[in-house]
Amino acid sequence: MDVRLPQASGAAEREAALEMLAGKLATGQVTLGADLGYDARDFVTAARERNVTPHVAQNDRCRRSAIDRRTTRHEGYNISQHKRKRVKKSSG
């Protein structure tokens, strides 16, 4: 578990998530679940460069999502999205 409290900016949460990933040792397949606020090309690219598969909700309203078929074609992505919605529903 890791927690950060960054100064608010348009990308603060994404930057903090990447900092938290930097301190983790990857063993095997690593995925990262996040809401659609993390669907930004720079974040998705940086996660992939760290060998982390971003299971980020697609934000395709009025734009093209950074999450493409490399991720969405796998059943694990669909499972992550269903579980993410259940967590959000139970905490909100």
**pLDDT at 23 (0 to 100):** 73
**pTM greater than the 0.85 cutoff:** no
Q: Which H or E run includes 80? A: helix 75-91
Measured in degrees and rounded to the nearest 5, phi and psi for residue 66 equal -80, -15
Nearest to 36 by CA among 54, 16, 18, 15: 54
d(CA 71, CA 3): 26
Over residues 25-68, the pLDDT tens digits come to 667 788 888 888 899 999 999 999 988 999 998 988 888 999 98
Nearest to 59 by CA among 9, 23, 14: 14
Please determine, for residue 17, whether its predicted confidence score (pLDDT) is greater than 80. Answer: yes
